[in-house]
């Protein structure tokens, strides 16, 4: 696992030890950032279930203005800290050890808006995907032109339309699917 592009290009990233994690592959990460493109420059990204921090670190390397990493596991937070240091990042990020649902509430209370929210819940806890979608849908975390990206098991069907969010794209990669959501036009015009 490595940083693909930008200021930290080629830097190796560690994965949390002793955990049953499935870090995002370089191929999937590259495809994700091909979809986002240059819009990541000066953008804000929220990395939920951050694991190794690979997606958020890639965003920083490509010029994101700010990234907030959330993970509730001590080993993951320690690994993200090490990866950020190894890549030379000392600013433009916040790192929190917290439950993702609690973090969504706190960030929403802070009235923070994100251009991108990336969520990579554990595939072994499939019951978490629907409540996660609902929590983000009910929050005001996504900027008006923002995009929510959720990685899920390929065979999982996620709700395509919620009260505020609408899936507009999904791409399959091996055993994973990336689902892309944006705010409904009615929500944006409010």
Provide the 8-state DSSP code for 122. -
Q: Is the pLDDT of residue 188 over 70?
A: no
**pLDDT score of 82:** 97
Long-range contacts of 187-190 (CB under 8 A, 24+ apart): 188/144, 188/145
Give tens-digit pLDDT for 88-138: 999 999 999 999 999 999 999 999 999 999 999 998 899 999 999 999 999
- pTM comes to 0.95
Query: Cα 187 from chain centroid?
Result: 22
Phi/psi of residue 111, nearest 5 degrees: 60, 35
Contact 69, 50 (CB under 8 A): yes
Is the Cα dihedral 105, 110, 113, 116 positive or negative?
negative
């Amino acid at each position: 696992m490595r940083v693909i592009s930008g200021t930290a290009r080629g830097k190796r990233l560690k994965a949390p030890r002793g955990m049953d994690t499935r870090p995002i592959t370089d191929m999937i990460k590259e495809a994700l950032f091909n979809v986002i493109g240059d819009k990541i420059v000066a953008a804000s990204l929220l990395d939920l279930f951050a694991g190794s921090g690979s997606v958020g670190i890639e965003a920083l390397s490509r010029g994101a203005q700010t990234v907030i990493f959330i993970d509730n596991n001590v080993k993951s937070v320690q690994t993200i800290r090490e990866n950020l240091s190894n890549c030379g990042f000392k600013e433009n990020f916040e790192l929190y050890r917290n439950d993702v649902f609690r973090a969504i509430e706190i960030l929403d209370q802070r009235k923070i808006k994100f251009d991108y929210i990336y969520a990579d819940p554990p595939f072994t806890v499939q019951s978490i995907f629907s409540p996660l979608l609902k929590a983000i849908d009910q929050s005001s975390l996504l900027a008006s032109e923002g995009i929510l990206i959720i990685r899920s098991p390929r065979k999982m069907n996620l709700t395509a339309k919620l009260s505020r969010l609408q899936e507009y794209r999904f791409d399959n990669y091996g055993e994973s699917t990336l689902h892309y959501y944006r705010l409904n036009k009615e929500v944006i015009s409010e």
